[in-house]
Amino acid sequence: MTIKEFGGTVASVWDGLRPVTKKMLVGAMQASKTAPANNPTPKFSYDAHADWEVSRLLTALDEQSQAPEIRKDTAKLTELNQLADVCVNVLESQSASAEVFIQLATRAIKENDFNRLDKLADRLAERYSASEIAEIVRQTELPQIRAIAYETLAMMPIPNIVPLLDDPLYSGIAAASLEQKAYEFESDEARDILEQFDSEGGLNG
């Protein structure tokens, strides 16, 4: 089955991929068919542009999977979902983007795949910066995702959170995380920083 058989939108996105991204996805697809499911994704070159490309392809695949003509064709739907799963596995193993995390977590919630959601939360703690986690809180509309991001941020070392207090986009998120540290985790350091922040309107003094 060819990409064009998945529909015009998917074909258009695929045609717009860089050759290196196509090669990566084809290699990952072949590996998924020949290797055990629990094997790690093969090593390949990955950058921010690949992140955006694979995320965009996954969006197109998810949209097309709901089309009536696709849902009536079991073989086509199966292959489309296999390619979507490859995109998900690549993004889960490589991405550290707030937008991609929200995309993957939203998919997991819609599919009631809470095991996958737990694994995503683990990767959030392992790989993402404090600012990207704060960006997830800022961007997401789903309370489940916001709760995961807040919990992860509150578990980070205080020096990772403090710089966010000086960023107008994230200061409220950082303060809320420090408040959780101060009162739920009984951190005197977090409480002192919050008091200073509240009294000075920042950490410049």
Position 120 scores a pLDDT of: 95
* pLDDT for the residue numbered 204: 47
Which two three-digit tokens encode residue 123? 């990767």
List Cβ neighbours of 11 (8 Å cut-off, separation of 6 or more): 3, 4
Q: What per-residue confidence (pLDDT) applies to 179?
A: 94
pLDDT of residue 62: 94
Q: What is the 3-state secondary structure (H, E, C) of the chain?
A: CCHHHHCHHHHHHHHCCCHHHHHHHHHHHHHHHHCCCCCCCCCCCCCHHHHHHHHHHHHHHHHHCCCHHHHCCHHHHHHHHHHHHHHHHHHHHHCCCHHHHHHHHHHHHHCCCHHHHHHHHHHHHHHCCHHHHHHHHHHCCCHHHHHHHHHHHHCCCHHHHHHHHHCCCCHHHHHHHHHHHHHCCCCHHHHHHHHHHHHHCCCCC
CA–CA separation, 133 and 96 (whole Å) = 9
Q: Residue 27, Cβ neighbours under 10 Å: how many?
A: 15
| Each residue's pLDDT expressed in tens, for the chain with a length of 205 residues | 578 888 889 999 999 999 999 999 999 888 877 755 555 545 677 899 999 999 999 999 999 988 888 888 898 899 999 999 999 999 999 999 999 999 999 999 999 999 999 999 999 999 999 999 999 999 999 999 999 999 999 999 999 999 999 999 999 999 999 999 999 989 999 999 999 988 876 644 4
